[in-house]
Amino acid sequence: MWIPLWPASSAISGNVINALFTAELVVCVLILALVFGLIWVFCIRYRHSTTVDRGHPSQRSWVFEIGWTSATLVAFLVLFVWGANAYVWLYEPPRADLELYVVGKQWMWEIEHPGGQREINALHVPNGKIVRLVMASQDVIHSFFIPAFRMKHDVVPGQLETMWFQPTQTGTYRLECTEFCGTEHAHMTGEVIVMTPAAYAEWLSNQGADKTLAAQGEQLFRNYGCSGCHGVNSTVHAPSLVGLYGSLVHLNDGTTVRADERYIRDSILLPRSQVVAGFAPVMPSFSGQISEADTLKILAYIQSLNPSGNAP
Ligand code: HEC
Ligand SMILES: [Cu+2]
């Protein structure tokens, strides 16, 4: 916390980003000091009134030329490798302890917990656990930003985004939308409340949720007629969704894809884009008929049909 301008880091990702940021700052300050130092030295040494020898310009020096070129190259390569590593690590979530569903819309964040607890512009999470967010936007691009965690992710309409974090400190932190999304954008803020696991469990049980997200999704699965084709008693030739989440799916164009959140969402909204091998493309598109929140509930239901599917 020795740079007073930034909030204290309260997540693993915060420490990683802080270290990288500090290293970049140090490199920049050193280069700046060298360049401006030399400017000052030459300004003073060769000012108009001095009598220093100006008659013998020194020979071109390859030592300096090669020295500064390779030194900056090495410095930037080190920063690049370091940054790329951190990026890949941040964008490839490990196996999560807890998965939450987030819908951004003008102008609020709606958050659903697996137990069916729902909150707006507030995010309660247990300390020390790996939390994974599955995020969607109902209208325009929003961006989900928790400054104290140094975590930010755009939420783009028409596609699912995921991000993860692991808080290290209980407390209340700011949650912001950092993508200009309309007139009330500045008020699209909220709080992240990191609680001890026991307090979080108690908070969950006080929310009065009667149905888990997966159970609500199962209800929707029947209401939208999915079970008519995908159910066990169906007469339509459609794949079973049991064990689908996280598995490898063979498509009729010969490719293989991992059935992650995005694949399942696209299967519902754009069924023609990826057709499972051995099946006719008879599934109707539900694009425009199912809200983002309902899609996430159905997704939670399909995920619950393979509890071990959340593999890294
Ligand atoms: C008219 C029958 C029918 C209806 C209704 C239907 N589906 Fe499908 N669905 C299929 C068929 C056939 C396939 C396989 C061909 C394909 O991929 O399009 C499929 C594929 C899928 C897949 C990919 C499965 C895999 O193994 O990769 C998912 C996920 C899915 N459907 C979910 C749903 C959901 C959710 C609903 C309801 C909102 C729904 N389906 C409604 C017939 C249907
Ligand atoms: Cu926004």
| Residue 275 Cβ < 6 Å to ligand 1 | yes
Question: Which protein residues have their CB within 5 A of the ion that is ligand 2?
Answer: 142, 177, 181, 188
Q: Per-residue pLDDT averaged across 59-75, rounded?
A: 87
Kindly indicate the confidence band of residue 230, based on its pLDDT and cuts at 50, 70 and 90: confident
Q: Report which secondary-structure segment, H or E, holds 62.
A: helix 62-91
Q: What is the pLDDT of residue 309?
A: 67
**Where are any strands of DSSP class E within the chain?**
98-105, 108-112, 118-120, 122-126, 131-137, 142-146, 151-155, 161-165, 171-177, 189-195, 248-250, 256-258
Measured distance CA(105)–CA(138) in Å, rounded: 5
Number of H helices, E strands in the chain: 7, 12
Q: Could you say which ligand is closest to the alpha carbon of residue 278?
A: 1
| Residue 263 Cβ < 6 Å to ligand 1 | no
Instruction: Look at residue 232 and tell me whether its pLDDT is greater than 90.
Output: no
Structure-token pair, residue 233: 């008693």
In the chain, where the domains are located: 98-205, 213-309
The single-letter code of the amino acid at 201 is A
pTM, to two decimals: 0.76
Report pLDDT digits (tens) over 162-171.
Answer: 899 999 999 9
Residue with tokens 């169906």: 234
Biggest CA-to-CA distance, the chain: 100
Q: Per-residue pLDDT averaged across 180-206, rounded?
A: 91
Sheet containing 189-195: give its strands across. Answer: 122-126, 189-195, 171-177, 142-146, 151-155
Instruction: Look at residue 127 and tell me whether its pLDDT is greater than 90.
Output: yes
Instruction: Give the ligand 1 atom nearest the CA of 275.
Output: 17
The CATH topology of domain 213-309 is Cytochrome Bc1 Complex; Chain D, domain 2 (1.10.760)
Is the alpha carbon torsion for 212, 283, 248, 162 positive or negative?
negative
| Residue 224 Cβ < 6 Å to ligand 1 | yes
| Residue 244 Cβ < 6 Å to ligand 1 | yes
Instruction: Look at residue 3 and tell me whether its pLDDT is greater than 80.
Output: no
Give distance in angstroms: CA of 280 to centre of ligand 1: 10
Q: What is the average pLDDT score of the chain? A: 87
Instruction: Look at residue 311 and tell me whether its pLDDT is greater than 60.
Output: no
The CATH topology of domain 98-205 is Immunoglobulin-like (2.60.40)
SS (H, E, C) 140-203: CCEEEEEHHHCEEEEECCCCCEEEEECECCCEEEEEEECCCCCCCHHHCEEEEEEECHHHHHHH
| Residue 133 Cβ < 6 Å to ligand 1 | no
Measured distance CA(64)–CA(62) in Å, rounded: 5
Mutate to test the pocket of ligand 1, among 250, 283, 287 (most ligand atoms within 8 A of CB): 283
| Residue 238 Cβ < 6 Å to ligand 1 | yes
Closest CA relative to residue 277, chosen from 304, 245, 239: 239
| Residue 282 Cβ < 6 Å to ligand 1 | yes
